[in-house]
Amino acid sequence: MQNRLETLESILDRLRSSIKKNGLKNSKQREEILCVLYKSGTHLSPEEIASEVKIKDKTTSISSVYRILSFLEKENFISALEADKSGRRYEIAAKEHHDHIICLHCGNIIEFVDPEIEERQVKVANKYNTKLISHNMKLFVLCEKCQKIK
């Protein structure tokens, strides 16, 4: 798990402010999903999140999980990752920005940041007269273990 920049309590406070700001109402599911993602430290699929949340509240539905994930992503509490064709996975956004190394064989994910690449990306965008808003970089690799197996 990467270093957290913020405590869970602080994030939940921000969530409550965000809800108020948008004229919305509180719900235990929204907080619970954020807690699950904070505590897991990994990249979870909507289904995995749903089954985790269902441990506390069996009636939670997958559609609410999707609705809440969209909201949390829009408000920058979490971020999405498409590691493969099997759908999106989510992680808490309360970490430093990073990109992903994904093992093609076992699916394991490593997070990294390379300041030189980040810098070059801005320059490349400028070179084409565009304004960089965000980026998405995935390195597909064979991890240490999987290199040995093959």
Residue 142 as a binder of a copy of itself (CB under 8 A): the answer is: yes
The residue (of 9 and 116) whose beta carbon lies closer to a copy of itself is 116
With beta carbons less than 8 A apart as the criterion, state whether 104 and 140 touch: yes
Q: Which is nearer to DNA, 63 or 126 (CB)?
A: 63
- Rounded least distance, CB 53 to a copy of itself, Å: 24
Q: Is 68 in the site for DNA (CB under 7 A)?
A: yes
Contact 53, 29 (CB under 8 A): yes
Q: From DNA, a copy of itself, none, which one binds at residue 132 (CB under 5 to 8 Å depending on kind)? A: a copy of itself
User: Count residues contacting DNA (CB under 7 A)?
Assistant: 27
55 contributes a contact to DNA by CB under 7 A: no
Instruction: Write down the residue that tokens 């994930």 correspond to.
Output: 69
CB atoms near residue 33 (< 10 Å): 27
Sign of CA dihedral 20, 26, 29, 35: positive
By DSSP bridging, strand 99-103 and strand 87-92 are unpaired
12-30 b/e (C-beta count within 10 Å ≥ 16 → b)? bebbeebbeeeeeeeeebb
Stretch that binds a copy of itself, among 29-37, 38-46, 59-67, 135-143 (CB under 8 A): 135-143
Binding interface with a copy of itself (CB under 8 A): 82, 101, 103-104, 110, 112, 114, 116-117, 120-121, 124-125, 127-144, 147
Binding interface with DNA (CB under 7 A): 19, 23-30, 45-47, 57, 59-64, 66-68, 70, 85-88
